[in-house]
Copies of this chain bind each other. A is one copy, B any other.
Amino acid sequence: MTEPEDKAERHKKRMQARKKIVDAGVARALEERGTVILYTGDGKGKTTAAIGTVTRALGYGYRVFVAQFIKGVWECGEKNLLTQLPEGKYSLHWHEMGTDFTWETQDFDADKAAARALWSKARVALQDEETYLVVLDELTYALNYHWLDKQEVVEAIQQRPLQQTVVITGRGAKQYLKDIADTVSEMRALKHAFSEGIAARKGIEW
């Protein structure tokens, strides 16, 4: 038997074994419902993954609600594109705190009021049967700064419609958020260009 045949045969066996595992997983995963997905950690990709999910859900024509706690006065590429899609076909509701990063404002009361106003919109979306995806971007800050009532947020998420998915992003998610999430990915920064003196880049980082 020649060496390439060996290799092909080994690959086939490995893939057969893998297929068995994947198929068994698919067979087990039968529960059809929306989930809570939490992206946390200090690495890059949390908001970016949320935006990817928004793009995906919109691509199937689902109604999407985005609330951005913290960010909101900067121009950003995804907002340019996603909020300018033809309205009949795509249904995106995008809301922001609009108060700049909190370390720029340094004003606790103004930030808290803005966060609470935004939360009241999110709470409505979390009760809307027609909204397929709710993104609570940077929610962890609003919770960790005690702008929002933790109990109220947890309950609103838990009492949402069965088919609705919620994506939460932000550093420093506390255990109670991990507890209510079905999926938790922690983005670990093994390396970050910014720390190496490379500027955050238009169209990539924002």
Tell me the bound Cα distance from A100 to B73 in angstroms.
Answer: 42
Contact, CB under 8 Å: A76 / B56: yes
Q: How far is the CB of A53 from chain B (nearest CB, A)?
A: 6
Kindly report which residue of chain B lies nearest to residue A205, judged by CB atoms: B56
What B residues does A16 contact at CB under 8 A?
Answer: 103, 106
Residue of A47, A50, A106 ringed by the most chain B CB atoms within 10 A: A106
**Oligomer: number of copies:** 2
Cβ contact within 8 Å between B53 and A50: no
Interface size on A, residues (CB 8 A): 89
A114: Cβ under 8 A from any B Cβ: no
Asked whether B108 lies within 8 Å of A81 as measured between CB atoms, the reply is no
Looking at the complex, which one of B62, B104, B178, B192 makes contact with A191 (CB distance below 8 Å)? B178
Measured CA separation A39–B22 after assembly (Å): 22
Task: Name 29 interchain pairs, CB-CB below 8 A, sorted by A.
Answer: A8-B109, A11-B145, A25-B194, A29-B200, A30-B199, A33-B198, A35-B193, A37-B204, A43-B186, A44-B49, A45-B185, A49-B49, A51-B56, A52-B53, A52-B78, A54-B55, A55-B78, A57-B204, A59-B76, A59-B78, A60-B202, A133-B203, A178-B190, A178-B191, A182-B191, A182-B198, A183-B189, A185-B188, A186-B190
Which A residues fall within an 8 A CB radius of B?
7-8, 11-12, 15-16, 18-19, 22, 25-26, 28-35, 37, 39, 41, 43-60, 62, 76-82, 85, 90, 101-109, 132-133, 145, 165, 178, 181-204, 206
